[in-house]
Amino acid sequence: MQKENLVKLINEIVDLEIMSQLNTLKITRKVTILYFLIVIPLLVPVASASEMVIEWEIALGGSSDDGAYSVQQTSDGGYIIAGWTDSYGVGNYDVYLIKIDAKYNKLQWQWQKTFGGKYFDKAYSVQQTKDGGYIIAGVTSSFGKGSYDVYLIKTDANGNLEWQKTFGGSSDDIAYSVQQTNDGGYIIAGYTTSLGEGGKDVYIIKTDANGNLQWYKTFGGRENDWARSIQQTSDGGYIIVGTTKSFGDLFHNGDVYLIKTDPYGNLQWYKTFGGRGWDEAYSVQQTSDGGYIIAGFSWSFGAGDVYLIKTSANGKLQWQKTFSNDIDEAYSVQQTKDGGYIIVGWTGELRSRIGDIYLIKTDSNGNLQWQKTFGTKRNEIGWSLQQTKDEGYLIVGYIKSSEVGDVYIAKLAWKERVIANSAINSAKEVISSAKTKGFDVSEAESLLTQAEQAFNDERYSDAKSLAEKARELALQTADQAENALNTIISAKENISLAKSKGLDVSEAEELLKQAEQEFNAGNYETAYNLATKTESIALDVDKDGVPNDQDFAPTIHNALFYLGFVVLAASVYTAKKIRIKRKEEELKSKGYVKYKTLDGKWVWGTTEEAKRYSYFAEVVQAIEEFHPPKRYAREEGYRDTLFAWLKSRFPNTIMEYQRGASRPDIVVFIDKNTSIAIEVKGPTGSQELQTIADKVMRYKQHFNHLIIVLFDVRVSSTRYQETYEGLKRTYPDIVIIRKDFPSVDFTN
C-alpha cells in the first residue's frame, strides 16, 4: 500500500464525515476529533492550573487552511464561531460560520455555513443578536468598491442569510470587530486606507438594525493607525483599542491606542501605552468598575511578551503587566466572574512562527494565578475565548497538525466537573442498557436525576457520588433482573416437563405465578427467590423436599409411575443443559459465536465482534511479550521501540503513531469501525497512574479498546497493587499492562 493511500485510509477511519449544506452547495465536511491535547505546564508557580482541564476539543478542516477568529456562547448554551475556510465555499477564502451545542460532553453539531464570492472573504468577529440571529464582520474582495471592503453579514438563528453590506472606498478597508448596540443597530471597528489622513486610519462605522449606514468616523494621524476591538460602554459611547504609529512613541514603532467616543462617535479622549519598542493591542473590555482591560503584546517591556493593561474609566493607567514564556502575544481578554482576567493568545518562536496556544489567568490586580500552553509540534493560535456559563472557558483558533491548518475549538472546565460529567454519562449508559431490556430501573433513574440536578447546581462532588450510586444500583438491578428472568424461564420449562409426565405441579405453578407478578412489579430479588423455590419443587419428583439423584431413579416410592419417571428423570436431570443448548443454537442461528475475554469470561457476539476481540487479545499478548532492548529514561524511546515491535508483529495492519500529537501515542485500526488506543507512560509514580487513566478514559467514546502500557514503575508493589485495583474499579474498560525493565526493579 502506498504511503498516500495509507494516510488517506487512516484519515477516513479517524475522521467523522458530516454532511452539511453550505449556502446552496452540498459539501462533505471532515471533522477530526482530537482525542487528547498535550498540556505543558510552564515553569512558574501555579495555584490551581491542574484543576482546569480540557472537557472536549475538536479540529475542523478540509484539504486547505481553515481557522476561527471569534466565538460567543449563545442563549441556548451552545456556541457561535466565525472565521475563514479555504477548503469549502465558492472562493479562495470564504466566511465560515459554525454553530455547535455542547452538553454533558456530548458534542452536537447544529449547522455550518459559508458566505462570500469567488475571491477573498474572511470573518473576524461574530455576535448573537437580540432576535436570536447573528451579526458577522470581516473583509471581502468579492463585493464592494475597493480591493478590500468591510463586510457585514446578518443571518437568522439558523445561519440563513438575511442581508449583507459592504462599506469603504476605492482602497483597502477591513473590519475586525462588531457589536450590536443598545438601539438594535451595529457598531464596527477596523481600519481604512480609503478615508482619513494616514496610510491606515482607525475606521468606526455605525449602522441601523438593517445594516444601513448612519455615520462613520476615522481616527489617527499621518502614520498607520488601526483598531482591533470595539465595545459599547455603559454610558452609551464606545471604547476602541488598536495600535498607533502616529502618536505615542517618538520613533513611531507602534503603541497601544485607546480611544473613547460618545454615542455618536465624537472623540472624548484617547490614550497611548507602551515604550520605545513595538507595542500592539488586540482586545478591550469595559470592566465591572467602569474602567478598561486591554490585552496585546509588547517589545518595550520584555522581548515580545503578553501585555495586559488596566485603566480607569478616564483611561488613566492603573497597572500594567507582562507575561513571558518565549515570544508571546495576546489576542483576546475577558473579565471573569471572580473579578480576574482570562487571556488567550500564542507563544512560540519568532522566526519560524511555530508555537502553541497560550492561556493565562490572573486575579483582579493582574497577578498570575495560572497559565497553560496547548499544542503539537506544528503551530497553534488561540484567537478568541469566552468564559462559559459553567465558569469554564471556550477557546477557538487555528491548529496546524499537518501541512494545512484547521479550526480549533476547545472547552475547558474544572476537573471536578469533568469527573462528575463522566460519572453521569457512565450511569446513563448502564441505565439505558437496562431499560432496553425492559428492566425497571426507576430508582437508579431517580438517583441520576438528582445527580444531574447537583451537576447543574455546580455541586460536582455530590453529582459524582449520586451518579456512581445510580450506576451501581442499575447494574445490581439489571443483574437481579437477569437472574430472576433466567430462573423463571428455567422453572417454566421444568414445570412443563413435569406436567407432560402427569405429575401434580399445582404448587409450583402457584409459586411461578407469584414470581412473575413480583418480576413485573420490579421486585427482582423476591421474584428470583420464588422462581428458585418453584424450580426446586418442580424437580422434586419423590416429594421428599429435596431435589436430588433419588428423584431421577425408579424407587418403591415412585413405582406407580416407574416408566414415566425414568423418562422424566433423564429429562429433568438435563433440563438446564437443554435450555442452555437451545439458547446457544438460537444464538448460533443468528450468526453469534462464543469467545473468551481477557478476564476469562465467555461471552456471545457476532463473528466480526469475536474476530475483532481476538485481534485485540493478540495485540495485548504482543505487548506483554515485548522486551525493550534497554532501559529508557523517557517515554519517547520506549514508544518508538514498542511501535516498531507492534509493526513487526502485525505488518499488514494499519497503525498510526504521532509522537507529541494531540492523539493517543499509538492507534491500531482493526477495521473501519474498530480501533485500539495505546498510551505509554514512564517513569511512573502513583500520581502518574491516576493522571494517565483520567486521560485515557477521554478516548472511550472514540476507540473500542483502551490500553495503558506502564514501564519503569517507581512505586512499591503494595502501593502499585492498591492503585491498580482502584483504577480497575473506576475504569474497568482499560487494560493496564506493566512492563518493567528486566535489569531494573523499583518495586521492592
359-403, pLDDT tens digit by residue?
999 999 999 999 988 876 678 899 999 999 888 999 999 988 667
What pLDDT does 746 receive? 34
The mean per-residue pLDDT over the stretch 151-168 comes to: 97
Which helix (H) or strand (E) segment holds residue 525: the answer is helix 524-539
CA distances from 140 to 191, 193, 198, 651 (A): 14, 15, 22, 51
What pLDDT, on a 0 to 100 scale, did the predictor assign at position 745? 38
Q: Which residues of 371-405 are buried (b: 16+ CB within 10 A; e: fewer)?
A: bbbbbbebbbbbbbbbbbebebbbbbbbbbbeeeb
Handedness of CA 209, 211, 214, 219 (dihedral sign): positive
Work out the percent of the chain whose per-residue pLDDT is above 70.
81
User: What domains are defined for the chain?
Assistant: 420-589 (no CATH), 595-738 (3.40.1350)
35-77 tens-digit pLDDT: 333 232 333 333 343 478 888 888 877 778 899 999 999 998 8
What are the distances in angstroms from CA 504 to CA 414, 535, 550, 553, 561?
Answer: 66, 14, 18, 18, 12
| Higher-scoring residue by pLDDT: 216, 668 | 216
Local confidence band at 537 (pLDDT 50, 70, 90 cut-offs): confident
H/E element, 330: strand 327-335
Average pLDDT rounded to a whole number, residues 659-685: 75
CA dihedral 5, 10, 13, 19 (to 10 degrees): -70
User: What is the arithmetic mean of pLDDT over 533-556?
Assistant: 55
Strand partners, 73: 79
What are the angstrom distances between the C-alpha of 19 and each of 10, 59, 281? 19, 16, 39
Residue 527 main-chain phi, psi, to 5 deg: -60, -40
Q: Rank 47-61, 168-182, 250-264 by mean pLDDT and report only the highest.
A: 168-182
Quick one: average pLDDT of 86-107? 78
Instruction: Look up residue 15 and give its DSSP letter.
Output: S
For cell 489567568, what's the residue?
361
What number of other Cβ atoms are within 10 A of residue 548's Cβ? 12
Residue 475 CB neighbours (<10 A): 17
In the predicted model, what is the mean pLDDT of the chain?
81
Reported in sequence order, the residue ranges of 196-289 that DSSP labels E, i.e. its strands, are: 201-207, 213-219, 225-232, 238-244, 255-261, 267-273, 279-286
SS3 653: coil
Q: What is the pLDDT of residue 548?
A: 45
- 319-326 own/partner pairs: CB under 8 Å, 24+ apart: 319/365, 319/366, 320/273, 320/366, 321/362, 321/366, 321/367, 322/298, 323/360, 323/368, 323/371, 325/42, 325/358, 325/371, 325/373, 326/355
Whose cell is 453579514? That residue is 153
Q: Which residues pair with 345 in a beta bridge?
A: 330, 358
pLDDT band at 575 (very low <50, low <70, confident <90, very high): low
**Lowest mean per-residue pLDDT among 69-83, 230-244, 428-442, 722-736:** 722-736
pLDDT at 525: 87
The least confident of 313-327, 633-647, 652-666 is 652-666
Q: Is the peptide bond before 683 cis (omega within 30 degrees of 0)?
A: yes
How confident is residue 715, by pLDDT bands cut at 50, 70 and 90? confident
Strand 734-738 to 705-710 pairing: parallel
pLDDT given for residue 296 in this prediction: 96
**H or E stretch at 320:** strand 317-323
